[in-house]
Structure 1
C-alpha cells in the first residue's frame, strides 16, 4: 500500500462518515525511536458537508487511561466534534497501546519522555505536511503534561506548535511519602515487575497505562526528583518557551489541583499566556472536576466556546501578518 506521507510509512486504515462528520484514521510508523514497532493511530475529523474544506489544524491529546473517545464519542459528541463543526481541522492521536494504537514491543517501559521526544514531533510533522499549517495543541491531564515535557525539552517549538492549551495538567503536587529516603526507590523496583496498570480494574478509565509511566512519575516526585529525564531538565526549559499558552484548572479537581496547575502556568515563559479557573466564584455554574471540565453538559455550554474563542484569538496575529505580507509585495 502506498504511503500517505513522504516522511515515514503512513496508511489510511479507515475512511467513514459519522453523521454530519467525516472520520479518517491513519496509522503512523515514524521509526524515530529505538523501538521500531511503535505505531500511532491518528483520527482526523472534518465536516461531511464540506470534506475537502479544512480549517486550522488542532491536535487533541488524551490523558491517562483514555483514548480518542475522550474527545469524540461514537454519537459525535465531544470537544473534537465541536471544533470540527466549527470549521477546525481536528486531529486526535492515541498514544502507544491506547485505542487503535497497537502495543509496541517495549510497551511496559513506555514513558512520557518517549511520547514527548519521539511521538509528538512525528505527529506534528505529519499534520504540518498534510495541512501546510502549524497546528494548535490541546492536552488534558497526562496529555497536557506530555505537551509541557515536549515544550520544556525543546522537542516541540514554534514551527510545530502555534499555541498550546493545557487542561488539568501539573507536575509539582507533592506526595510526601515518596520523599522518604528509599521508599520511592523500593516502589519503583516493585512496580517494574508488572507490565501495566489496569484502568478498568481500578476504575480509572477504559485503557491500561504502561508501568513505565507510573515509574517515571515516582522518579519525578521522589527525593531530589525533577520534571525531566536523565539528560534534560524540562522544568527549567519551560522558562524559555515562547508559544502562546492557555492553562485551565478546575476548582473541584482533586487530582490536579488549581494551585499546582497555576505553578506550571507561572513556569512557562512567553508573553502570550492566560490562566482560566473553572468554578462558581469565577462565574461558572459549578465547580468543575478533573474530567467534567471537558466532558459534561455544562462544559459543552461554558467551556467549549471558550476554547474556540482562544483558538480564534490566536489566529488574529497570523491573519494580520499575512495581510502585511500581501501589502508589502503588492
Structure 2
C-alpha cells in the first residue's frame, strides 16, 4: 500500500473532479487495533477551483446501514457537498465493512467500541496531519453515538475539536423486555447464530451491519447495562467534554425520539451548546423524520443552512467564553 502519510500506510485510491467539486478517496490502514486487517475509506470533498486553499475541516460520520452517500450523492447533492461548496474541507468516513471500506477479517465481531477506541482516533490523526486545524465533527444516528462514545471515553483530543454535532443520536430510549435477563439472554443466543443484519433485506439501508453491534446494544440496554466499554463509562465521561456541542432532533423521529436526543445532549459538560428540534411547533415546514432531518429537499432548504451557521459561530463563541473565563477578577479594594 503506497503511503501518503507519516502515521501509517495510506493509499490514494481515487482522485476525481465531480463537476464543481474535487473528490479524493483515501484508504487508511492504521494497524492500531487487534484486527490488523482493518482498512478505512475516507473521502475528501473540496471545491475544484480552490485545491490550494483548504478551509476548516468537517468530518462526517454516517449512521447504521449507511455509507458516504448519505452525505454526498453521485449527483453531488448532500450536506457534505453543501459544506464543501461553502468552503469547508469535508471528510466523510466509512466504518469497517461499509461503502469503500473493505470487510475486515473479524467483521462479524465489529463493535462500536472498536470504532470508538481505534478507528475515530486514526481518522482524527490523519485529517489533522493533512489539515492541522481544529475540526468540526458531525454524526448521524449511530455515527453520532460513536462520536459521543469517543468523546466520553477520552479517545479524541478535545483541543483538536472545533465543535461536535449529533443528529438523531440517543442512547436513553428504554427497551423494557431487555431489562428482563432471560429475554436478554435468549436474544443474545439467537443473534449469535448470525454474522450480520442485512440492511437491504430489512429495508433499513444499503449496507449490512455486523452482529457484534447488535450484541453490544443488548449489553447497553440490559438490566445493568451502561453506555461504555469494559474500561470506561462513556456516559459519565461526557460530563467532562467541554467542546461546543449541537444536537439536532426531529419531532417525527420515532427511532430516536427528540426527548432521548436531548438527554444525550444535556449530558455534555459544554458551556457552548445548541439544541435544534425540527418540527412545525418550532417554525419548520413539517415534523421531520429520522432520515429526512438531513436528506430531503426540506432539509436542504431549512436545516443545512442552520448547521453551517452553527459551524461558523460555535468556535468564535467558545473562544469568547474561554477568554472571559481566563480573566481573573480584580481584588476588592479595602
Aligned to 1:42: 42
The whole-number CA distance in structure 2 between the counterparts of 1:93 and 1:72 is 12
Q: Match of 1:274?
A: 274
Distance, in Å, in 2 between the alignment partners of 1:4 and 1:319 is: 33
Instruction: Report what 2:261 is aligned to.
Output: 261
The worse-fitting range, judged by mean Cα deviation, of 131-140 and 183-192 is 183-192
Question: 1:92-119: CA deviations, max 9, x gaps?
Answer: 0100000000000110010110001100
Would the aligned equivalents of 2:21 and 2:48 in 1 still touch at CA under 8 Å? yes
Deviates more, 1:152-161 or 1:118-127: 152-161
Contact in 1 for aligned 2:58/2:138 (Cα 8 Å) = yes
Contact between 1:245 and 1:272, CA under 8 Å: does it hold in 2? yes
Gap regions ≥5 residues in structure 2: 322-334
Indicate if the aligned counterparts of 1:63 and 1:143 stay in contact, CA closer than 8 A.
yes
In the TM superposition, what whole-angstrom CA distance separates every residue of 1:139-194 from its partner, at most 9, and x where no partner exists? 00000000010011010131332210000000010011111122112211221221
Question: For residues 272 and 157 of structure 1, what CA distance do their matches in structure 2 show?
Answer: 18
Residue 228 of structure 1 corresponds to: 228
1:182 match: secondary structure: helix
2: distance between equivalents of 1:18 and 1:37? Answer: 31
Q: 1:68 matched to which residue of 2? A: 68
Task: For residues 228-260 of structure 1, give each alpha carbon's deviation from its aligned partner in whole angstroms, at most 9, with x where no partner exists.
Answer: 112211111111111110011000000000010
- Residues of 1 paired with 2:157 and 2:271: CA distance? 15
Residue-pair matches, total = 322
Q: Residue in 1 aligned with 2:139?
A: 139
Q: Does 1:151 find its partner at 2:151?
A: yes
Three-state SS of the structure 2 residue aligned to 1:295 is: coil
Change (3 A) 1:319 1:274: closer
Once the two structures are TM-superposed, the CA of residue 2 in structure 1 deviates from its matched residue by 3.9
Match of 1:55 in 2: 55
TM-score (norm: length of structure 2): 0.94
Question: Which runs of structure 2 are paired with 1:1-330 in the superposition (5 Å)?
Answer: 2-316=2-316
Q: What does residue 326 of structure 1 align with?
A: none
Secondary structure (helix, strand or coil) at the match of 2:160 reads: coil
**Contact 1:157-1:243 at 8 Å conserved across structures:** no
Q: For residue 49 of structure 1, report the CA deviation from its aligned partner.
A: 1.7
Q: Runs of 4 or more off by more than 3 Å in structure 1?
A: 317-321
- SS of the counterpart of 2:65? coil
Report the CA distance shift for 1:16/1:318 in structure 2 as closer, same or farther (over 3 A).
farther
Q: Secondary structure at the match of 2:15?
A: strand
CA distance, structure 1, for counterparts of residue 181 and residue 214 of structure 2: 18
What RMSD in Å do the two structures reach over aligned CA positions?
1.5
Deviates more, 1:81-90 or 1:271-280: 271-280
Aligned equivalents of 2:23, 2:317: Cα separation in 1: 30
Quote how far apart the aligned CAs of 1:320 are. 7.7
Taking the aligned partners of 1:320 and 1:152, their CA distance within structure 2 comes to: 24
Give distance in 2, aligned partners of 1:87 and 1:248: 22
Asked if the contact 1:83/1:308 (under 8 Å) is kept, the reply is: yes
- Cα pair 1:121 1:160 within 8 Å, conserved: no
Q: Is the 8 A contact 2:110 2:213 kept in 1?
A: yes
